[in-house]
């Protein structure tokens, strides 16, 4: 209950403070390439329910709906602004809406794509599917895109076993440091 209250308060505060930045980034995405400013990605949420998660669009319209590392030539799909948004994690800011709505939490396992069956199966086997997915998480600060699926699932299970408000605050702090250093971002 306290975690959810903190999520709502932080997401609301973030949206209120960041709305000019969100508006500016949305406009920049629209001006750079044709298509919508937001991409609504189908993700696996709590209890393996699919939900629509917003991100600023970083790829050209028509890009395949798969994890970036599965594309033959990711650079051919990612826009120049998209590279910047991904490197700085600014593309993730619209997910504050998902936190406010209750589809996500500030901290939890990153939501898998609807077609990442291997990751979903490993998380389900260890009970991680009971958690609300997060804007950031234990796996995010311990390797992010560089981790193999099995290691992500192991770290998610570790978070499930150790989760606490203090750990969440530590993860948020380390996330800020990782984002500022653009560590662990492949594409």
C-alpha distances in Å from residue 105, one per residue of 12, 16, 30, 78: 12, 17, 28, 27
113 in Cβ contact with 153 (< 8 Å): no
Q: Which residues contact 150 (CB under 8 A, 6 or more apart)?
A: 122
DSSP state of 186: -
168 in Cβ contact with 106 (< 8 Å): yes
Q: In what order do the strands lie in the sheet with 50-56?
A: 50-56, 38-44, 112-113
Q: What is the pTM of this model?
A: 0.88
Per-residue pLDDT 10s for the chain (187 aa) are 799 999 999 999 999 999 999 999 999 999 999 999 999 999 999 999 999 999 999 998 877 777 777 677 777 789 999 999 998 999 999 999 999 999 999 999 999 999 899 999 999 999 999 999 999 999 999 987 778 999 999 999 999 999 999 999 999 999 988 777 655 454 4
């Amino acid at each position: 209950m306290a975690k959810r209250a903190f999520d709502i308060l932080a997401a609301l505060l973030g949206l209120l403070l960041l709305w000019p930045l969100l508006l500016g980034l949305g406009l920049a995405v629209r001006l750079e390439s044709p298509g919508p400013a937001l991409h609504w990605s189908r993700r696996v949420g709590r209890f393996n329910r699919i939900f629509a998660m917003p991100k600023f669009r970083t790829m050209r319209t028509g890009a395949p709906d798969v994890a970036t590392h599965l594309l033959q030539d990711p650079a051919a799909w990612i826009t120049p602004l998209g590279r910047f948004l991904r490197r700085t994690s600014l593309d993730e800011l619209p997910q504050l809406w998902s936190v406010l709505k209750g589809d996500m939490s500030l901290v939890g396992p990153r939501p898998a794509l609807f077609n990442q069956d291997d990751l979903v199966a490993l998380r389900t086997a260890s009970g991680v599917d009971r958690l609300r997915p997060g804007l950031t998480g234990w796996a995010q600060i311990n390797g992010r895109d560089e981790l193999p699926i099995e290691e992500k699932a192991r770290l998610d299970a570790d978070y499930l076993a150790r989760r606490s408000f203090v750990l969440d605050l530590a993860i948020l702090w380390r996330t800020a440091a990782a984002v500022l250093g653009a560590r662990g971002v492949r594409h």
